[in-house]
Amino acid sequence: MKNPSEEKKYMLDISQKEIEELRTTIRATSKKMTAEYIERMRKADKNRPEAMRYFDEIADFEKREKELLAAKESGKKVIGYMCLFAPIELILAADAIPVRVNSGWYDASKLGDRVVPVEVCPMVRSTIGAKMIGLSPYLELSDALISGLTCDGMTKLSEILSDYKPVWAMAVPRLKDSTQSLSFWREEMKTLMKQIEALTGNKITRSKLKSAIELTQRATKAFRRLQEIRKGNPVIMGRDAMLVNQAYMWDDIKRWTEKTEALCEALEERARQKSWACSPDTPRVMVTGTPMIWPDNWKVPSIIEEANPQGLLVADELCSSERLLYDPVGVDEWTMDDMLNAIAERYLMASTCPCFTSEDGNKDRVNWILNKVKEWKVNGVIYYVVRGCMLYAMEYMRVKKVLDRMSVPVYYLDTEYTREDVGPLKTRVEAFLEMLTARVDI
Amino acid sequence: MIMDFIGELLKLTVLAGLTVAGILVILIWKKNLATRVTYLRFLIQVAAMVSVFYLFTYPVWQFIVLIVILLLPLVLGRFFCGWLCPFGLYMDAITLIRKGFKVRYRNLPDKLNKFLHKFRYVLLLFFLVVPFILNVIDPPPAESLTLMALVLAGPFDAWRILLGPVIPLIVPWKGPLEISKIYFSYPYVQEVIYYSKLLSIEVFTTIMAWVFVALTIVGSFFLRRVWCRFCPTGSSIAIVNRFRGFKWAPLLHIYKDEVKCTKCGICKRVCPVQVTDVYEQAGGKITTSMCMLCMRCVEMCPYEDCLKVNFGGKTVFKSRNWLEPAKVE
Amino acid sequence: MITAGVDLGTQSVKVVILKHGQVLARSKAFSGFDPARAAEQAFGQALRQAGISSSDVLHVTATGSGMDLASNANSTVSMMSADAKAGVYLFPTARTVVDVGAEEARAVKCDDKGVMVDFVVNERCAAGAGTFIEAMARALEVKLEEMGPLSLKAERASSINASCVIFGESDVVSLIHRQEPKPEIARAIFDAMADRISPMMHRLGITPDVVLVGGVAKDVGFVASLKRKLGIELLIPEYPEYAGALGAALVAVNRVKKV
């Protein structure tokens, strides 16, 4: 824990008045925008399942903020995380609440420019900006942050945020395949476990960890069920599914699982009735690349599904959506040791983050994209990158070459944390979708 | 004589029938092959041990069993080791006990494990040569040699070590330990005694036998399937699997779909004999001579169709999303 | 059958009227503040040129960045598809179409029927497009039309930064301060543009034949630079700036046939 009187390493002083003003305006803009997004999502699918209503509600951060406040008052701790390398199970086993704190606010990224240059990834800038003015309830409420040192942006972000809160950095080995990486990562897990235990004052016991793993396994089960449904004819719009997936980042996991199962139930019924969300001939699109974070950064999925010709998001390979939960923790023996190993492996080995490389490049990610393209019958891939996201941008050529060989069109869509470029983006996405439909009339 | 033989054959048929029936019951009960292979494997292991006990009632069967064990890998790879071997069953039982105590297992360093794997071929060669050395030291009447080989007698007694892991806990012959007319034995114990005698250290034979028993029990408490890493019997014709040109030979294989694998590492961790090839190899046929086809990796792989067990080109078992209950046909 | 294509570009609106696959009329108007009106004007002009009335036109397809503004359009098509269509119509052997317009440069790969199979667009910066030449001509105090011929007089090339219009301009100013001859600076400007466009094309993969269209294709200086950079021949139609409108009109033909 650091002394609050200590001088800030990175952050600039900003007057309380300015903070208040900025927070109010940005919140208001964002609220309007998200309300509009949800309204558009409702309109996009006439028979949108009633079960989606829950996710529309939880998409409003205020609801969850109140719950977290109440939980904190009852003595629970909230632990925030930035990358998917944070072991949720350990947080849960210590009776703490995990929330992901990455920011999607467009306007906050402009505030981040005061601390870091504009070339930096806008998600990092936006998170800095959000912290500056206390915009994100999750970031504000977390008692500590877990940061996976994946890309350069994340590494320095954790340093910058340590001006405010204890940040537990976990060094992610960039090579997965070596034995020393895994043993190193296991040690990181054990260290983190001790830190969590110290903060919460709760000991992580075998039975607690077991039930935490079982909880996330059930969540994974519901999650995979939803993705499985998306393999068939469209019964859910991609944006809706993305919102469901993303709600996992801040929602109560048990409740989320129940609601998702209920949604799957409704969707399966819908598939039996053959009431499709949009024409089954709609080109099936997959997005991969930089994470798209709710609330603001929702423009690309919206553009894809509202374009003319229309596209349907059937899958994605984003760490803000399908990479969250697809892999289960596979426990062989329910001993403390094996559970920890299983958790360590699930977070390190199963990840397809572009921060990894090997003798053969980041082959796991390429393979996983190929698998998704095949399994979800994807017609085209949109490779979404925000300016400053080096790892994804640099890996594009590799992915393109592989997809070209399979003659699956892929388009590199680059953008920023801004609303202003929706026009040009739309033109490009529409041209791409036009190409996918390969309509006879062209 | 002939009637006796027919009688034996009938009894064997009944035994085989019972085993098959048992398997079928389990299959129907579980409704799907894909659920919990481990349980099925335990059942088959027990059945195998009982049949081995029965077969050993007649010395002539020992040699046949040996030939079968040595030839089986040609067809099934090391299926025997994973599914039939009684010693394997004992070690699995000890693992179960360890799990009950919630004690963690240890792993051998990968390098040592791979060295032991190669070392087994040296052991195998050595034990195969022993009878001939003995033959030179103490030549028996030449005309009886073939018959002796057939019943594993005389100098060929040494070959019996290859049957070591197959020894049931209760033996139908005069075993090393007798409690109220029942003879108890343990894999390799008779061989330890035999070799100690050969090397004229008779005084310590019993102690050595006990030490061996203790070592393997403690060893398999901490290391899963510890003896399988030394066992020369298991390596036998799995030699064939080692050479690329012969990889096609066995009918039973594990296949991996490269694209479906995210390299999550579960297969590597759950393998009781620490085979790394399933994880490391890109895709295709990934069975190696180290793999004893226990199919634990296939059972635990969370990705649909990523790992498959093929028997003569037909998929008999494949990985699935085990979070979901198996579909009822 | 008479169809029309309207290309609402960032700087000007172009209209092409087709009759049985032959160009009947072309016209152009500056977009200005009211592109919709400009489009109407250009359309009316084209109708007068062709000597027909608007009811004779069976189908109007709009394209370009302002395509949604065209009030009389029956349908719209993306600029990339229109380029591909026009490129293959003009040169049947064309498989790559490069369109360098006022604000945007794009390269489209297409098949023998003019259906697009892949495309790239320059990343939001105008340094790879016509506006860049305009700004630089201003800095050099040369008329826009004279830039090309001027650059061809250069014996060797100076070099400037091609990342951005603004930085490019300051580079040009420093070249002026170093008293470099004007033709060489002019050539440097075109080289810088070609430097922006050629990597983009390499990423797409260059399949011959390559057609260059768009307003900037009329500039001899740029064409020479791009040819040098790519090391291949470029096919340039007679009216390169009308390619988008022509493609849209061709798409309109197909849409009429489909109905």
Residue A239 confidence (pLDDT): 93
In the predicted structure, residue A217 carries a pLDDT above the cut 60? yes
Give mean pLDDT, residues A393-397. 93
Residue A284 confidence (pLDDT): 94
Nearest chain C residue to A416 by CA distance is: C124
Residues A164, A99 contacting (CB under 8 angstroms): no
Phi-psi sector, A77: left (phi>0), alpha (psi -120 to 50), beta: beta
- Does a structural domain hold residue C87? no
Give mean pLDDT, residues A411-440. 86
**Interface residue C119 vs chain A (CB under 8 A):** yes
What proportion of chain B, given as a percentage, has pLDDT over 70? 79
Min Cα distance A34 → chain C (Å) is: 25
* B105/B92 Cα distance (integer angstroms): 13
**Residue C174 — pLDDT band, cuts 50, 70, 90?**
confident
* Contact residues, chain A, for B104 at CB < 8 Å: 333, 335-338
Physical contact, A and C (3 or more Cβ pairs within 8 A): yes
Indicate whether C224 and C98 sit together in one domain. yes
In the predicted structure, residue A101 carries a pLDDT above the cut 90? yes
The tokens for C155 are 């014996």
In the predicted structure, residue B48 carries a pLDDT above the cut 70? yes
Give mean pLDDT, residues B36-54. 79
Q: What is the CATH number of domain B247-318?
A: 3.30.70.20
**Residues 6 or more apart in contact with residue A130 via CB below 8 angstroms:** A103, A105, A108, A136, A139
* B186/B166 Cα distance (integer angstroms): 9
The owner of tokens 């390299």 is B263
Q: What average pLDDT does chain A have?
A: 91
Alpha-carbon Rg for chain C, nearest whole angstrom, is 19
Indicate whether C107 and C169 sit together in one domain. yes
Tell me how far apart the 2 most distant CA atoms of chain A are, in Å.
Answer: 69
Min Cα distance C254 → chain A (Å) is: 5
Give mean pLDDT, residues A35-56. 91
Residues C227, C190 contacting (CB under 8 angstroms): no
In the predicted structure, residue B249 carries a pLDDT above the cut 90? no
* A173/A186 Cα distance (integer angstroms): 11
In the predicted structure, residue C70 carries a pLDDT above the cut 60? yes
Residue A173 confidence (pLDDT): 93
- CA angle B79–B80–B82, rounded 5-degree value: 65
Residues A163, A91 contacting (CB under 8 angstroms): no
- Does a structural domain hold residue C85? no
**Interface residue A335 vs chain B (CB under 8 A):** yes
**Interface residue A203 vs chain B (CB under 8 A):** no
Dihedral sign, Cα of residue B307, residue B313, residue B317, residue B323: positive
> Hey, are the CB atoms on C203 and A430 less than 8 Å from each other?
no
Q: What is the DSSP string of A29-72?
A: HHHHHHHHHHHHHHHH-TT--TTHHHHHHHTSHHHHHHHHHHHH
- Does a structural domain hold residue C129? yes
Indicate whether C177 and C249 sit together in one domain. no
Exposure letters B25-38 (e unless 16+ CB within 10 A, then b): ebeeeeeeebbebe
* A363/B308 Cα distance (integer angstroms): 21
Residue A300: what residue type?
V
Give mean pLDDT, residues A332-348. 91
* A127/A139 Cα distance (integer angstroms): 9
Indicate whether C65 and C161 sit together in one domain. no
Min Cα distance C58 → chain A (Å) is: 15
Indicate whether C222 and C248 sit together in one domain. no
Residue A2 confidence (pLDDT): 47
* Contact residues, chain A, for C117 at CB < 8 Å: 409, 435
> Hey, are the CB atoms on B323 and A221 less than 8 Å from each other?
yes
Residue A141 confidence (pLDDT): 93
Indicate whether C108 and C197 sit together in one domain. yes
Q: List, as ranges, residues 77-96 from C with C-beta within 8 Å of A.
A: 77-81, 85
Alpha-carbon Rg for chain A, nearest whole angstrom, is 21
**Residues 6 or more apart in contact with residue A70 via CB below 8 angstroms:** none
* A328/A346 Cα distance (integer angstroms): 7
In the predicted structure, residue A440 carries a pLDDT above the cut 80? no
Which of residues B131 and C250 earns the better pLDDT score? C250
Residues C122, C106 contacting (CB under 8 angstroms): yes
> Hey, are the CB atoms on C124 and A421 less than 8 Å from each other?
yes
Tell me whether strands C96-100 and C210-213 are parallel, antiparallel or unpaired. parallel
CATH number for the domain that contains residue C99: 3.30.420.40
pLDDT in tens, A229-276: 999 999 999 999 999 999 999 999 999 999 999 999 999 999 999 999
Chains A–C, number of C-beta pairs less than 8 Å apart: 51
Min Cα distance A177 → chain B (Å) is: 8
- Does a structural domain hold residue C136? yes
Nearest chain A residue to B271 by CA distance is: A332
> Hey, are the CB atoms on C124 and A423 less than 8 Å from each other?
no
Physical contact, C and B (3 or more Cβ pairs within 8 A): no
- Does a structural domain hold residue C134? yes
In the predicted structure, residue B144 carries a pLDDT above the cut 80? no
Residue B328 confidence (pLDDT): 45
* Contact residues, chain C, for A421 at CB < 8 Å: 124
* Contact residues, chain A, for C251 at CB < 8 Å: 441-442
Which H/E stretch holds residue C59?
strand C59-63
**Interface residue A346 vs chain B (CB under 8 A):** yes
Dihedral sign, Cα of residue A222, residue A226, residue A227, residue A229: positive
Chains A–B, number of C-beta pairs less than 8 Å apart: 80
What proportion of chain A, given as a percentage, has pLDDT over 90? 73
Indicate whether C104 and C184 sit together in one domain. yes
* Contact residues, chain A, for B323 at CB < 8 Å: 217-218, 220-221, 224, 328
Residue B329 confidence (pLDDT): 38
- Does a structural domain hold residue C12? yes
Q: Is A288 helix (H, G, I), strand (E, B) or coil?
A: strand
Residue A189 confidence (pLDDT): 94
**Interface residue C256 vs chain A (CB under 8 A):** no
pLDDT in tens, C94-145: 999 999 988 888 899 998 888 888 999 876 666 667 888 888 888 888 888 8
pLDDT in tens, B51-109: 887 777 776 667 777 777 777 777 777 888 888 888 888 998 899 889 888 888 888 88
> Hey, are the CB atoms on C118 and A427 less than 8 Å from each other?
no
Min Cα distance A306 → chain C (Å) is: 15
* Contact residues, chain A, for C76 at CB < 8 Å: 308
**Residues 6 or more apart in contact with residue A370 via CB below 8 angstroms:** A402, A403, A406, B259
* C44/C29 Cα distance (integer angstroms): 11
Residue A442 confidence (pLDDT): 61
Interface with chain A: mutation pick from B107, B259, B279, B304, highest number of A CBs within 10 Å: B259
Residues B259, A367 contacting (CB under 8 angstroms): yes
Which H/E stretch holds residue A425?
helix A422-437
Q: What share of chain B is helix, strand, coil (3-state, %, to 5)?
A: 60, 10, 30
Which parts of A115-163 are beta strand (E)? Answer: 144-149
Min Cα distance C74 → chain A (Å) is: 13
Indicate whether C63 and C107 sit together in one domain. no
Neighbours of B238 (CB within 10 A): 25
Nearest chain C residue to A429 by CA distance is: C78
Interface with chain A: mutation pick from C75, C76, C121, C254, highest number of A CBs within 10 Å: C121
Residue B128 confidence (pLDDT): 81
**Interface residue C117 vs chain A (CB under 8 A):** yes
Residues C57, C2 contacting (CB under 8 angstroms): yes
Per the structure, the count of domains in chain C is 2
Domain boundaries, chain B: 2-236, 247-318
Give me the residue from B269, B321, B323 closest to A341, CB to CB: B269
Give mean pLDDT, residues A189-218. 94
Which of residues A6 and A350 earns the better pLDDT score? A350
pLDDT in tens, C217-230: 988 999 999 999 88
Give mean pLDDT, residues A116-125. 92
**Residue B161 — pLDDT band, cuts 50, 70, 90?**
confident
Neighbours of chain A (3+ CB pairs under 8 A): B, C
Min Cα distance C7 → chain A (Å) is: 14
Residue B10 confidence (pLDDT): 66
> Hey, are the CB atoms on C116 and A431 less than 8 Å from each other?
yes
Give me the residue from A332, A334, A349 closest to B300, CB to CB: A332
Nearest chain B residue to A362 by CA distance is: B262
* C66/C51 Cα distance (integer angstroms): 27
Nearest to A206 by CA among B268, B104, B322, B97: B104
> Hey, are the CB atoms on A220 and B110 less than 8 Å from each other?
no
Physical contact, A and B (3 or more Cβ pairs within 8 A): yes
* A85/A118 Cα distance (integer angstroms): 26
- Does a structural domain hold residue C86? no
What proportion of chain C, given as a percentage, has pLDDT over 70? 95
**Interface residue A337 vs chain B (CB under 8 A):** yes
> Hey, are the CB atoms on C254 and A430 less than 8 Å from each other?
no
Residue A412: what residue type?
Y
Partnered with residue C61 across adjacent β-strands are C5, C75
**Interface residue C259 vs chain A (CB under 8 A):** no
Q: What average pLDDT does chain C have?
A: 87
> Hey, are the CB atoms on A424 and C115 less than 8 Å from each other?
no
Residue A53 confidence (pLDDT): 93
**Interface residue A374 vs chain B (CB under 8 A):** yes
Residue A418, class by beta-carbon neighbours within 10 Å (0-12 exposed, 13-18 middle, 19+ buried)?
middle
Q: Identify the domain containing residue C65 by its residue range.
A: 1-79+241-259
Residue B198 confidence (pLDDT): 72
Indicate whether C71 and C104 sit together in one domain. no
Neighbours of B103 (CB within 10 A): 15
Residues in chain A: 442
DSSP summary character for residue A235:
S
- Does a structural domain hold residue C227? yes
**Residue A433 — pLDDT band, cuts 50, 70, 90?**
very high
In the predicted structure, residue B22 carries a pLDDT above the cut 80? no
